Amino acid sequence: MRHSPVRARREAPKGDDDVNGRRTDGRILIYSHDTFGLGHLRRCRTIAHALVDRFKQLSVLILSGSPIIGSFDFRARVDFVRIPGVIKLRNGEYTSLNLHLDIEQTLRLRGSIIRHTAEMFEPDLFIVDKEPLGLRGEVRETLEMLKPRGTRLVLGLRDVMDEPRALEPEWQRKNVLPALRDLYDEIWIYGLPQICDPLEGISLPIRVRQKMVYTGYLRREVPTWGAPPRLPEITQRPYLLVTTGGGGDGEALVEWVLRAYEHDPLLPYPALLVLGPFMQPERQAEFMDRAARLKRVDCITFHSNLEALVARAAAVVAMGGYNTFCEVLSLDKRALLVPRTAPRLEQFIRTSRAASLGLVAMLADDGRYDPETMAAAIRNLPRQNRPSEVVVPGLLEGLENVARLVAPWIETRSAAAEAGVRAIARPR
């Protein structure tokens, strides 16, 4: 049964109320577990900003474990709650990032903060990014609490999760099917089926499949609000942007590009390397030292407005994560993507499908990092087609379609409140 977007609320919190004390503002809560990298946070932030721009009475609150969420700017009516961070170790286990607590204590604390935040905020929609039950099931109780209250529960998935033979046993181990079947109202896929079905090959009931909606990719723009970003001097002329996202798994890409510029200092563009905040400090120091010896290579660790760097670049070399892929498409940049293949095939699947359509060029990581191989790929970039020269219907309509999906649950509240005001104002 589909829940109505208009519902009674118990002890409605203070906010924009009509004369009867009924809330007229819309509220969306977004959960992003963020144990590694920046991808989940940046995707959630993009969605939040687009929605508050579209709906003027909407507030969005992001729950995130990212240790650097405070380094980003947020638009008015978008805020965040920082839950204690955890990090995934190389052996696959999790540990607390900063607190002297064992992982079980940290997870209980995170789950309590998530549940109480949702209880006080009382969202119209609760969007969970990627992990159906959250990290180690920490969102389950919140989903079960919000469901009978009529909150619209949405699972948001990127275009590619992993190969089915890896994802299906992972989801079976986590026992996510009951939540997909009984708790979630919709499953939004931020991509297109002609590029990838993230749940292809996984046995799912038709009832779950019917909840799936492809939105298209999430368009990115250079923010026009807030203070203008400080940009490195190299951005004043055409340059090659080399970005690793969070950087925790980007060492191989930076190593390969540096070898290429050490081998051939006259490659078509000077290069700006953005190492990422989660790269090991000793590797950051090594790469920055090597870059300092090259006249046409600059190196920084982090920039909070990567869209501005992408927009000014002549071309991009990256690993093929979701956000970088969206930025390359949105800002129409020639791109060479070098996807990782471990611990997930996500980047490889996305990049190989996009390369087959002619949207990007792909270079496989062969583990040898021959400098001439990378140099040849960089030399070819100026002759490469831009993404806009390939027609893929609906490719970048993700934010518009998310707004359409949200609208019934936000606009109906305002319309109901306005109707209540008119009824009170009508003379008897």
> Can you give the pLDDT at residue 424?
41
Query: In this structure, which topology does domain 233-389 adopt according to CATH?
Result: Rossmann fold (3.40.50)
267 CB-near residues (< 8 Å, 6+ apart): 240, 260, 261, 296, 375, 378, 379
The Cα 115–Cα 145 span in angstroms is: 8
> Can you give the pLDDT at residue 90?
60
The Cα 233–Cα 243 span in angstroms is: 17
Q: Are strands 240-243 and 297-300 parallel, antiparallel or unpaired?
A: unpaired
For domain 26-219+397-425, which CATH number applies: 3.30.160.270, 2.40.128.20, 3.40.50.2000, 3.40.50.300? Answer: 3.40.50.2000
> Can you give the pLDDT at residue 411?
80
CA 315, 258, 271, 346 dihedral sign is: positive
Q: What is the pLDDT along the chain (428 residues), one digit of tens a residue?
A: 333 333 333 333 445 565 455 677 999 999 998 655 677 888 999 999 999 999 999 999 999 988 888 888 899 999 999 998 887 666 666 778 777 788 889 899 999 999 999 999 999 999 999 999 999 999 999 999 999 999 999 999 999 988 878 888 889 999 999 999 999 999 999 999 988 899 888 889 999 999 999 999 999 998 877 667 788 889 999 999 999 988 888 999 999 999 999 999 999 999 999 998 889 999 999 999 999 999 999 999 998 888 999 999 999 999 999 999 999 999 999 999 999 888 889 999 999 999 999 999 999 998 999 999 999 999 999 999 999 999 999 999 999 999 999 999 998 665 654 554 444 445 44
Sketch the domain layout of the chain as residue ranges: 26-219+397-425, 233-389
Assigned token pair, 44: 């959630």
Assigned token pair, 126: 């609760």
> Can you give the pLDDT at residue 248?
82
- Polymer length in residues for the chain: 428
Q: How many CB atoms lie within 10 A of CB 234?
A: 22
> Can you give the pLDDT at residue 421?
41
Is there a shared CATH topology between the 26-219+397-425 domain and the 233-389 domain? yes
Q: Can you give the pTM of this predicted structure?
A: 0.87
CA 10, 7, 404, 56 dihedral sign is: negative
Assigned token pair, 322: 């979701």
* Contact of 320 with 345, CB cutoff 8 Å: no
The Cα 381–Cα 314 span in angstroms is: 9
